[in-house]
C-alpha cells in the first residue's frame, strides 16, 4: 500500500505530551516519508463532522513544550454510539462509523493515527476491524494501559502530585494536622502510589488494595503516639473500603467511560478527624494533574511514540499500538492493548518497598 496522506487525532482527556506526539508525527511524515498530514479537530467528533486542519512543519513549530492539544479533544464522541445532533445537543446513541469512514475517503486519507487512552483506542480497534489502516499511540495520565510499560502524560501528572505532597508536608508539620491528598487515576493507583512513595506519604490508599477506616485511623494514632504530630494521607480517587464500591462524583451521559470518580478523600478525612480529634484537611488535585507543560521525560517519550507510529504506517503494520518495553519502543495489537487495564500489583515490589519504609495501605 502506497501512502500519500494521513490523518491524526487526539481523543479522550487532555494530558501533557499530546502536542509532542502531533509534532513528531507531522515532522517524520513530511521529512522522512513525504506524506501530507491532516488533523481532525476535537477527536473522533472531528472525524464524524469532517472538521479538519492541514498540519505542516510550520503548524507544529514551537508546540513541543505546550500542554494540551492544538487539535482539541473530546471524551464523549464515539462514532459507533454517537450522541451529538447537528446543533451539538445530546441525542440517543447512533452508529455513525460509516460517516467517519466516508470522511476519510473524502479527504483522500490512506490511514490515520489515533492518540488516546483505552476508550479512544477501543474505537480505533473497531475501525481497524472495518478495514481502515490505523495505528494507535497510548496516552493517559493514569498509566493503566496494559500494552505498554509507561504512557506519556503519567510522568507529568506524577510530578504535580509529588510536588503537592511535598508542599503539604510543610503546612501539616507547622499546624500538626492530617493532610489528605486526592489524586486522579480512575481504577489504577499508580499516581497515588508513586507520589506517596516519592513524597514520603504515611498512608497510601489505592483501588487495588481495599482499606478499612479502622486501620487508617490506627496508622494515624500510631504516628501520634510516637511523637509524629502530623500525617500525610495520599488517596487515589478510585480507592475503596473493603466491601464497598468506589465513591462516584457524577455520571456523564454519552461518554465512553460515564462514571466520574472522586470525593473519597472527604469521607476519609471526616472519619480520621472524628476518631483522632486531630484537625484534618483535604486537597483534591483534580485537573491540575492533566494541565501544564510536559516533563522532559514525557516530551522524550511522546516524540519517540509519534515517530514510531509513522514508521508502523510506512511498514504496513496496521492495527497496532506503539509501546515502550524497558527502554525499547515496540508495538502490540490494538486488540491486545485494550484488553485489560494495567493495575498496581498488591504484592509487587513497589508496594513491598512502601510497606518496608513504614507506609500503611489501610489493610493491615
Domain ranges of the chain: 5-152+297-337, 160-288+345-356
Kindly tell me if the per-residue pLDDT of 252 is higher than 70. no
Would you call 142 a catalytic residue per the annotation? Answer: yes
Strand partners, 113: 8, 135
Among the listed residues 142, 144, 155, 202, the single catalytic one is 142
pLDDT tens digits for 270-311?
A: 999 999 999 999 999 998 998 899 999 999 999 999 999 999
Dump pLDDT digits (tens) for 194-215.
Answer: 999 999 999 999 999 999 999 9
C-alpha cell at 207: 483501588
Q: Hey, is 241 helix, strand or coil?
A: strand
Please tell me the pTM assigned to this model: 0.93
pLDDT digits (tens, 9 = 90+) for 138-181: 999 999 998 999 999 999 999 999 999 999 999 999 999 999 99
- Mind listing the pLDDT tens digit for each residue in 109-144? 999 999 999 999 999 999 999 999 999 999 999 999
| pLDDT computed for residue 321 by the predictor | 97
- pLDDT score of 257: 67
The confidence score (pLDDT) of residue 255 equals: 63
* Buried-exposed string 199-228: b where 16+ CB fall within 10 A, e elsewhere: bebbbbbbbbbbbebeebbbbbeebbeeee
160-288+345-356 matches 5-152+297-337 in CATH topology: yes
Architecture in CATH for domain 160-288+345-356? 3-Layer(aba) Sandwich (3.40)
What pLDDT sits at residue 199?
A: 96
Q: Which residues contact 97 (CB under 8 A, 6 or more apart)?
A: 79, 80, 126, 127, 130
- One of 3.30.930.10, 3.40.50.10800, 3.40.50.450, 3.40.710.10 is the CATH number of 5-152+297-337, namely 3.40.50.450
Section 59-73 average pLDDT: 96
Q: Reply yes or no on whether the pLDDT at 36 is more than 90.
A: yes
Q: Report the pLDDT value the prediction gives residue 259, as an integer from 0 to 100.
A: 73
Amino acid at each position: 500500500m502506497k501512502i500519500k496522506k494521513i490523518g491524526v487525532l487526539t481523543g479522550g482527556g487532555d494530558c501533557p505530551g499530546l502536542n509532542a506526539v502531533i509534532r513528531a508525527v507531522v515532522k517524520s511524515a513530511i521529512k522522512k516519508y513525504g506524506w501530507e498530514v491532516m488533523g481532525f479537530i476535537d477527536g473522533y467528533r472531528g472525524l464524524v463532522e469532517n472538521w479538519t486542519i492541514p498540519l505542516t512543519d510550520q503548524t507544529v513549530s514551537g508546540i513541543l513544550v505546550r500542554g494540551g492539544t492544538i487539535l482539541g479533544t473530546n471524551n464523549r464522541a464515539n462514532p459507533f454510539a454517537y450522541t451529538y445532533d447537528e446543533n451539538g445537543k445530546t441525542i440517543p446513541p447512533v452508529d455513525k462509523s460509516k460517516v467517519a469512514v466516508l470522511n476519510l475517503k473524502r479527504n483522500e486519507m490512506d490511514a490515520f493515527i489515533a492518540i488516546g487512552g483505552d476508550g479512544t483506542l477501543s474505537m480505533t480497534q473497531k475501525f481497524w476491524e472495518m478495514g481502515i489502516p490505523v495505528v494507535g499511540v497510548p496516552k493517559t495520565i493514569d498509566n493503566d494501559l496494559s500494552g505498554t510499560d509507561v504512557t506519556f502524560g503519567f510522568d507529568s501528572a506524577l510530578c504535580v502530585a509529588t510536588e503537592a505532597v511535598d508542599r503539604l508536608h510543610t503546612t501539616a508539620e507547622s499546624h500538626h494536622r492530617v493532610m489528605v491528598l486526592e489524586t486522579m487515576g480512575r481504577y489504577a493507583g499508580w499516581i497515588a502510589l508513586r507520589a506517596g512513595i516519592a513524597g514520603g506519604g504515611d498512608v497510601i490508599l489505592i483501588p487495588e488494595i481495599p482499606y478499612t477506616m479502622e486501620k487508617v485511623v490506627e496508622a494515624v494514632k500510631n504516628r501520634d503516639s510516637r511523637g509524629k504530630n502530623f500525617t500525610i494521607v495520599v488517596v487515589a480517587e478510585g480507592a475503596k473500603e473493603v466491601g464497598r464500591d468506589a465513591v462516584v462524583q457524577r455520571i456523564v451521559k454519552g461518554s465512553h467511560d460515564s462514571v466520574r470518580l472522586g470525593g473519597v478523600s472527604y469521607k476519609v478525612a471526616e472519619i480520621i478527624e472524628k476518631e483522632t480529634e486531630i484537625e484534618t484537611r483535604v486537597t483534591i488535585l483534580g485537573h491540575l494533574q492533566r494541565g501544564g507543560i510536559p516533563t522532559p521525560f514525557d516530551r522524550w517519550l511522546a516524540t519517540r511514540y509519534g515517530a514510531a507510529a509513522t514508521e508502523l504506517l510506512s511498514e504496513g503494520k496496521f492495527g497496532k499500538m506503539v509501546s515502550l518495553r524497558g527502554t525499547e519502543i515496540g508495538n502490540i495489537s490494538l486488540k491486545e492493548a485494550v484488553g485489560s487495564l494495567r493495575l498496581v500489583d498488591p504484592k509487587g515490589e513497589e508496594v513491598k518497598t512502601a510497606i518496608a519504609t513504614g507506609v500503611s495501605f489501610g489493610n493491615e
